Structures are given as structure tokens and as C-alpha cells.
Amino acid sequence: KIHSSLPFAFLLAAGSVSFYEIRKHYRLHALSTDDSIPTTPKGPLIVDNQKPLIEKVPYSKQYNFIADVVEHVAPAVVHIEVDLDPVSYYGHFSSSYGTTNGSGFIINETGLLLTNAHVVRNKKNVKIKLNNGQRFTGTVQYVDMVADLAVVQIDSPDQKLPYLELGNSDTIRAGEHCIAVGSPLALSNTVTAGIVSNVGRTSSELGLFGRDINYIQTDCMITSGNSGGPL
């Protein structure tokens, strides 16, 4: 059983709904200096064999926090495929069907997942692919077109699945790191990163009238197919 204990929060961003905000706090440390300007020593410079005031942080721990987060949450991120209805031309149905793609994430071990309403469209059943390659069918249980949210149950009898926990979006701050994991352009398990650009964007600011919803703005690269995935 893989279970993420990182805090997450609902958010909607840049035309796709990204549901989770993965947070970690990092601090920059600087050496304090004397106010006086040092002068050139008159004699030879003697350096004592002392430990540095600040221990050097290993490169991997200093810069690979994104990889650590992705490794932790990726097993609960899914790729979603939805079969399209045949297209009607002048009253005649085309024989070509095709599929559309999106993302989602599992929220409990029994296989309940969240995604966007516009990903599942008006379908009752969808195809689910896990990070490890396993494939399942999913049954759409709930759709909210205003909030653009959908709940899908993965048909995975007797198998406990990795999942993510919901967090509190009220604690998100502009400038925090954010990471998107999903299936842009049907390329599953794709990772992009950025920051939270702003919080509390109103629907009227975005031209989405009739929705009493606040949005979180991010500069994280989000493309068609990221919809429904975690941020």
C-alpha cells in the first residue's frame, strides 16, 4: 500500500483542473558578515583548519526535491481515456469514433478518483491506466459541470490502490513551488514544475460568470491532457 501523507489542496488552473498542491518549505541560509571592509593583510595569510560555519548540503538533497515528490505521488496519478461518439455530418453518422484523453488521481484505496467533468464528458464508463501500466475500466459516479469536477470508481476488485489525501487550500501562498503530474497530449506520467502565481482569483476575473468559485493561478506548464491531474 502506497499512501501519500503530503498535504494537498483543490485548485483549478489555466483551463484544466489541477487538484492538489504539494507543499514543502525550504530555507536559504547566508553567512553573516562584519560591517567593516576587510583590508589586505600585511603578512602571509594563515588559514586555520576549521570546519565551515555551514555544512555543504548534498547536491541531490538540495535540488532534487521535485523528483522526490514525484516519486512519492506518481503511483496514484492515472491516465484516462474516453471513447468519443461518432460525428454527425448532415444527419449521417461518421464511422470514425476516436478517443480523448485526460488525467486523474486516486483518493482512497478502493479506487475512487477525481478528475474534470469535461474529461469524462457525458460518458458512464471510461478507461483507466495506472502509473505501473495496469489497466481498468471506471464508472462515472458523480459530475458537477459548474465546478468542472467528476468522481469515478475504478473497477479493481480485491486490490488496494495507492492514493493521495486532500489538504487545505486556504494555506496556499503565492510564490510556493508547484508540480504538475499528468498526461498532456496523451503522454502519461509527464512532470512539469513552476510556482503558485496568485491565489483567490475570482471567476469574474477569468470571464467565467455564474460560478461562485475561487481559482489558484500557476505558471506551471499545463497542456491538453493535464486536465484532472494533480498539482
Residues designated as active site: 118, 148, 227
Measured distance CA(153)–CA(163) in Å, rounded: 13
Cell, residue 105: 488521481
Q: Which residues contact 149 (CB under 8 A, 6 or more apart)?
A: 17, 114, 115, 116, 117, 143
At residue 184, φ and ψ (nearest 5 deg) are: -65, 135
Measured distance CA(15)–CA(227) in Å, rounded: 8
Residues 231, 218: contact at Cβ < 8 Å?
Answer: yes
At residue 71, φ and ψ (nearest 5 deg) are: -60, -35
Our measurement of the distance from residue 6's CA atom to the centroid of its chain's CA atoms, rounded to an integer in Å, reads 12
Q: Which residues contact 87 (CB under 8 A, 6 or more apart)?
A: 93, 94, 96
**Terminal Cα distance for the chain, rounded:** 22
At residue 177, φ and ψ (nearest 5 deg) are: -65, 145
